[in-house]
């Protein structure tokens, strides 16, 4: 069993080194009281779940004040406690010993993918589409989702409409809830 503490769940290399040393199950002991809110405790739990996915190891997370959990090797939270309440969780986890690509190579695969993306974008093989404008709700938001260069918000419109430089209306669903 590989044990990592508290905020080490935010550092992928810690759990990776434990699996490289033979850990078949990971355990995370944490004091989440310094986080202050349930939303932050949920974020810490999600970060811990990412370590399970990266390493394909189940994680037993024990906290005295946050969200204790049993996390499967696929990152799914099997059971979790209530925030700020003493709970006891019972479950069964399956030890895993096979190393993932991330477990073997770490960030090398990620850096290689980023280098390929940068090279193909720089060579003009991949490029964003024409600028798109979305108007409504009195806000101006600049973003770059795939193929979109700019969003524009005005307070006069109650209905959102996205128009590209190609002159046709596009689906503005990505802007819902920003009003």
pLDDT of residue 59: 96
pLDDT of residue 127: 53
pLDDT of residue 70: 95
Q: What top-level class would CATH report for the domain 2-101?
A: alpha beta
Residue boundaries of the structural domains of the chain: 2-101, 128-179
Average pLDDT over residues 49-54: 95
For residues 50-80, one letter each, b for 16 or more C-beta atoms within 10 angstroms of the residue's C-beta and e for the rest, the string is ebbbbbbbbbbbebebbbbbbbbbebebeeb
For residues 104-124, one letter each, b for 16 or more C-beta atoms within 10 angstroms of the residue's C-beta and e for the rest, the string is eebeeeeeeeeeeeeeeeeee
pLDDT (tens digit per residue) in 133-161: 444 455 544 444 444 444 444 444 433 44
Q: Is the pLDDT of residue 125 over 80?
A: no
pLDDT band at 2 (very low <50, low <70, confident <90, very high): very high
Q: Is the pLDDT of residue 165 over 50?
A: no
pTM: 0.63
**Pairing of the two strands 2-5 and 26-30:** parallel
Compute the distance between CA of residue 132 and CA of residue 123 in angstroms, rounded to an integer. Answer: 23
Average pLDDT over all residues of the chain: 75
pLDDT of residue 83: 86
Q: From the DSSP assignment, how many helices (H) and strands (E) are in the chain?
A: 4, 8
pLDDT of residue 160: 40
| Contact yes or no for 154/138 (Cβ under 8 A) | yes
pLDDT of residue 69: 94
| Contact yes or no for 137/172 (Cβ under 8 A) | no
Indicate the helix (H) or strand (E) that contains 169.
strand 169-170
pLDDT of residue 58: 97
User: What is the side-by-side strand order in the sheet with 77-80?
Assistant: 2-5, 26-30, 59-63, 69-71, 77-80
pLDDT (tens digit per residue) in 74-112: 999 999 998 878 888 999 999 999 999 889 988 887 788
Residue 41: C-alpha distances to residues 13, 30, 84, 168 (Å): 21, 10, 10, 44
């Amino acid at each position: 069993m590989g044990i990592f503490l508290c905020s080490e769940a935010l550092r992928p290399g810690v759990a990776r080194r434990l699996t490289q040393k033979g850990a078949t199950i990971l355990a995370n002991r944490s004091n989440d009281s310094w986080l202050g809110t349930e939303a932050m405790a949920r974020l810490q739990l999600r970060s811990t779940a990412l370590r399970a996915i990266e390493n394909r190891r189940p994680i037993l997370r024990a906290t005295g004040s946050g969200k204790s959990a049993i996390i499967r090797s696929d990152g799914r939270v099997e059971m979790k406690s209530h925030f700020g309440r003493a709970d006891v969780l019972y479950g069964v986890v399956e030890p895993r010993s096979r190393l993932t690509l991330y477990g073997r190579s770490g960030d090398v695969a990620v850096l290689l993918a980023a280098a390929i993306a940068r090279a193909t974008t720089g060579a003009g093989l991949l490029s964003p589409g024409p600028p798109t404008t979305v108007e409504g709700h009195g806000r101006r938001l600049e973003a770059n989702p795939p193929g979109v260069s700019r969003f524009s918000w005005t307070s006069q419109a109650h209905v959102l409409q996205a128009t590209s430089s190609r002159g046709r209306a596009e689906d503005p669903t990505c802007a819902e809830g920003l009003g």
